Chains A and B, each alone.
Chain A
Amino acid sequence: DTAVSQTPKYLVTQMGNDKSIKCEQNLGHDTMYWYKQDSKKFLKIMFSYNNKELIINETVPNRFSPKSPDKAHLNLHINSLELGDSAVYFCASSQEVDGYTFGSGTRLTVV
């Protein structure tokens, strides 16, 4: 049973489209995150939610909007996709004593 699952695994879409990536964790963790890994493999935090409350919003364009309907889910919606949005997006969850668990990533390609 996957601990942190995100869908889809691959997403190819045209510029200007709107798309969503879904993330679910079954670990009972209170905090969930979205990270972006660029083409040079650099990983950077985008958002963090704790018990459905937004904690971190790191200078991300407002075309990116996270939504957390409950503490087990954190979805990422992206409006008006641009070529520069192409990256791998990782969802993760954490609890103090458990550390961090990452999803398998979503490779987004904007053409």
Chain B
Amino acid sequence: AQKITQTQPGMFVQEKEAVTLDCTYDTSDQSYGLFWYKQPSSGEMIFLIYQGSYDEQNATEGRYSLNFQKARKSANLVISASQLGDSAMYFCAMRDRAAGNKLTFGGGTRVLVKP
């Protein structure tokens, strides 16, 4: 079974600084996909970034980048130039192709951006 671990339950970051959110995963699949979602206090789940296991380059989407280290089974999210609106819960997730393509989520990291 797949497992996603986010070891940082919460963290503070100064506005305009970068922050790295850790995510490690465990899977026996050769082909898999990793996702990051943001959940602000309003509750919706907002897709941020995706990394495929065979992608040779790290994914980037605006201020979001994914530091994918396949051998270490880690997929850390880097948010550059933090803004107050980045304060939210962040979830790492993995697609389980063998189980109906369900997403398995980590426990989340709460980020609070300080002005």
Give me 9 other A-B pairs in contact (C-beta within 8 A), A48-B102, A88-B43 excluded. A41-B89, A42-B107, A43-B108, A45-B102, A55-B100, A94-B101, A99-B47, A102-B37, A102-B45
Chain B residues with CB under 8 Å of A45's CB are 102-104
A43→B47 contact, CB < 8 A = no
Q: How far is the CB of A77 from chain B (nearest CB, A)?
A: 21
Chain B interface SS verdict (over half): strand
Chain A residues with CB under 8 Å of B55's CB are none
In this complex, which of B39, B89, B99, B103 has the most chain A Cβ atoms within 10 angstroms of its Cβ?
B103
A27 to B89, CA, bound (A): 26
B43→A100 contact, CB < 8 A = no
Chain B residues with CB under 8 Å of A33's CB are 102-103
Chain A interface SS verdict (over half): strand
Task: Assess A43 versus B105: contact at CB under 8 Å? Given A31-B100, A99-B50, A100-B35.
Answer: yes
B44→A56 contact, CB < 8 A = no
Q: How far is the CB of B33 from chain A (nearest CB, A)?
A: 8
Chain B stretch 55-113: residues in CB contact (< 8 A) with chain A: 89, 91, 93, 99-105, 107-108
Q: How far is the CB of A11 from chain B (nearest CB, A)?
A: 14
Query: How many B residues touch the partner, as a band?
Result: 20 to 34
The 10 closest A-B pairs by CB, nearest first: A55-B100, A102-B45, A43-B105, A56-B100, A45-B102, A48-B100, A104-B44, A105-B43, A41-B108, A56-B102
A56→B99 contact, CB < 8 A = yes
Chain B residues with CB under 8 Å of A105's CB are 43-45
Cβ contact of A42, chosen from B35, B44, B108, cutoff 8 A: B108
Q: 7 A-B residue contacts at CB 8 Å? A: A33-B102, A45-B102, A48-B100, A48-B102, A56-B100, A88-B43, A102-B44
